[in-house]
A and B are shown apart, each in its own frame.
Chain A
Amino acid sequence: MRVPLAWRNIAHERGRAAIGIAGMTFAIVLIFLQLGFYGAIIIGSTQVYDQLAGDLVIVSREYSFIHSPRSFPKARLQQALGARDVLTVRPLYIGATTWRNPATGLKNSVMLIAFDPRRPVFSTPSINAHLTELRHSDTVLVDSDTREKYGPRSAGDTIELAGRRVHIADQYRLGTSFVELAMIVLSDQNFVRVLHGSLDDVAVGVIRLRTGADPAAAARELRSRLPADVEVWTREQFRAHEVRHVLLLTSTGMIFGSGVLVAVIVGMVILYQTISTQIMSKLSEYATLKAIGYTPLEIVRIVLGQALFLSLIAFLPGLGLGLLLYDGVQKSAFLPMVMPAGRIIGVLLLVVAMSIASGLLAYRKVHVANPADLF
């Protein structure tokens, strides 16, 4: 093995190395956090639909996203039922209203999701366990992630929705999102009572196909069968639509995307500073390397080695702190912060790329080292 000069240099100047590692750790934590938020947006945008028990959906041609679904006539569901392979077609209603906190008197917006309890559309056990109670008038289920500012929200509490007093049967677990901090599941009948709306205006039609049917083919057939005021999507298309909407058509994707970029730049600047300061302080040693016959490529390798050692050492605490923060955010902000293995590998590769880039930038300082000056 060759003499590990890069490693020795780092181990020799622990103070300087520690500052570089701390800075890089900070940057890595920041990257993980931004990606965590980013991931939470994606998860949050689809977590309701992911729980639908169906193979295809019908939505309005003007469907935008879950918080702005537009509606289509209920008659389309009947028309869909005639298609081959279609087993059931069930309506899902989405609406929004206000929820008054009796303690503060403040009204906050709440998202309502409704269906016919005799024809359930979710596969969520904590919802399906209360189908009978949902059929009672003015009885609702509240998402367990609903924030504290809404006031009492436990089983047995009575709350006020759009001025109407309703009874909470229990909580269910599905998750809120960035947009809505409270969610309520209720029967279609109670939905109409609260919102004074019409059951003819459906937000999403949930279609179940016969076992073994091809969803793509069934969707094609439905599209040709139904009028142009509705769209038929497979689950995957529906999911992709929601994600694309929230990432591209709202600013959330850009906010956290640029957050990652800033963290990357911060990390690279810190790394560059650390390495280039080290090079300047050891200029005569770099000149000596040149004098005794080390080629530029070999010297680049030493400089890059230092950058890589610093950032790889920083990666472990960065990941550890990231996981801690994920847990904290999940608990305090009810955001679905998860750390997929792909993200860990991705950030690791990003960190390697950052090290190489800032190492190469810092290497330019080595040009100042002139072996002829040693004499």
Chain B
Amino acid sequence: MPEVVDVDHVNHYFGDGHTRKQALFDCCLKVGPGELIIVTGPSGSGKTTLLTLIGALRSTTEGSNRVLGRELHGLPAHELVLVRRSIGFIFQMHNLFQSLTAHENVRMSIDLGRHTPREARELATDMLTKLGLGHRIHYKPNQLSGGQRQRVAIARALVNRPRLILADEPTAALDKKSSRDVVEMLKAQTREERATILMVTHDSRILDVADRIINMVDGAIESDVVVDDAIRICEILKKSEIFQKLSPTELLNIAQKMKKETYAAGTTVIRQGDAGDKFYIIGNGTVDVLIDGDAARSSGKTIRSLGGGDFFGEKALITGEPRSASIVATSTLTVYFLDQADFHSALAASDSFNEQIRKIAFQR
């Protein structure tokens, strides 16, 4: 999967001669499709500068800055303008056109593409309706509340379905409810359109939606951390057949609820006939699947062996019947498991996960 943003050893300077000041120091950052990255850091730490370089709003002068597959370093100004058309921008101050209605504000973005007037009108109406502003499309910015204005600005940024969205403090001027709405809309965009979002924010209320949090200090990327260990589980989950089609967010949701267990070789993980209470993914190691064995010893018939990325234990959870087979570790085994309640809530939360797992469960 090509990176949406690939910043490699970027330095940036402001001013010339004696007043020349370095603003970015050897920044490296890779962001993939569907990722929501939050960039934090004290003011003057260079996060805005980094965002403006990625957004083709400034010329990259040192290092490689590939955005949407295009190298921005050395690109002339008139090319940078065209790159910006593929990026959705959301500003702290909504920066709507005061003389235009919400509908016309959104159409200003649509006008940059090739659409018939009818298509343009429909696109704008649909996008505003989707953001809950269907009843306000012909209002001007000064007739809208702060939250509504920011939603219009988001509609303008999203209406061309950009693969990359750059947002600067999009919730700074909003109350708690509006901030949450705005963040959920953006998060939905990463799920539904696999859009990549880079968001500069100090708003701790919204950190939970991030896939990664990047912290910048004095012009350098100080840390680039996954939201928690769950991402590591995601890496394993991603290799598994049933999770391949899930978005990073869905994976993360599941992974965050998983717990890790380690078994020595020869340990029985599941006993046939027991009540099912956990769903397992194999992180490392191998197991044998046995049926009709002695309850005390694993002397049954081995019907299958499983390895890393494989999973087991789902059927009993779905059907409510006792375990239909025993699982015995054949090497040192690391598994991640979901308990019954989390398993069911994961099924409920993700249509794709539900569909995928039921299909596989009933094929066996």
On A, residues with C-beta under 8 Å from B are 1-3, 5, 8-9, 11-13, 282, 284-285, 287-296, 371-372, 374-375
Q: List 30 A-B contacts (CB under 8 A).
A: A1-B117, A3-B100, A3-B108, A3-B111, A5-B99, A5-B108, A8-B99, A9-B99, A12-B99, A282-B98, A284-B95, A285-B97, A288-B91, A288-B97, A290-B81, A290-B84, A291-B91, A292-B85, A292-B109, A292-B156, A293-B84, A295-B81, A372-B58, A374-B57, A374-B93, A374-B95, A375-B48, A375-B52, A375-B91, A375-B92
Chain A residues, Cβ within 8 Å of B81: 290, 293-296
Chain A residues, Cβ within 8 Å of B85: 292-293
* Cβ contacts B173-211/A at 8 Å (1 or 0 each): 000000000000000000000000000100000000000
- Interchain residue pairs A-B with the least CB separation, the first 6: A12-B99, A293-B85, A8-B99, A372-B57, A372-B52, A293-B84
Q: Does B107 contact A (CB under 8 A)?
A: yes
Inter-chain contact B48/A295, CB cutoff 8 Å:
no
CA distance A289 to B55 in the complex (A): 14
By secondary structure, the B interface counts as mixed
Inter-chain contact B100/A291, CB cutoff 8 Å:
no
From A8, A285, A291, A294, B89 is in contact (CB under 8 Å) with A291
Given A372-B52, A375-B48, A375-B52, A5 and B97 touching (CB < 8 A)?
yes
From A2, A288, A296, A374, B111 is in contact (CB under 8 Å) with A2
Q: Does B82 contact A (CB under 8 A)?
A: yes
A374: nearest chain-B partner, CB-CB: B91
Q: Does B35 contact A (CB under 8 A)?
A: no
CA distance A374 to B52 in the complex (A): 9
Chain A residues, Cβ within 8 Å of B304: none
A11: nearest chain-B partner, CB-CB: B99
Inter-chain contact A8/B100, CB cutoff 8 Å:
yes
Inter-chain contact A293/B112, CB cutoff 8 Å:
yes
B140: nearest chain-A partner, CB-CB: A12
Chain B residues, Cβ within 8 Å of A372: 52, 57-58
* Cβ contacts B117-136/A at 8 Å (1 or 0 each): 10000000000000000000
CA distance A11 to B168 in the complex (A): 31
Chain A residues, Cβ within 8 Å of B112: 292-294
Inter-chain contact A284/B78, CB cutoff 8 Å:
no
Chain A residues, Cβ within 8 Å of B104: 3, 8
Given A1-B117, A9-B99, A292 and B89 touching (CB < 8 A)?
yes
From B57, B97, B200, A291 is in contact (CB under 8 Å) with B57
CA distance A5 to B112 in the complex (A): 13
A371: nearest chain-B partner, CB-CB: B57
A295: nearest chain-B partner, CB-CB: B81
Chain B residues, Cβ within 8 Å of A295: 78, 81-82
Chain A residues, Cβ within 8 Å of B217: none
Chain B residues, Cβ within 8 Å of A284: 93, 95
**Measured between C-beta atoms, what is the minimum distance from B14 to chain A in Å?**
11
Q: Does B51 contact A (CB under 8 A)?
A: yes
B94: nearest chain-A partner, CB-CB: A288
Given A284-B93, A293-B112, A372-B57, A3 and B84 touching (CB < 8 A)?
no
CA distance A289 to B99 in the complex (A): 14
Inter-chain contact B100/A5, CB cutoff 8 Å:
yes
Chain B residues, Cβ within 8 Å of A11: 99
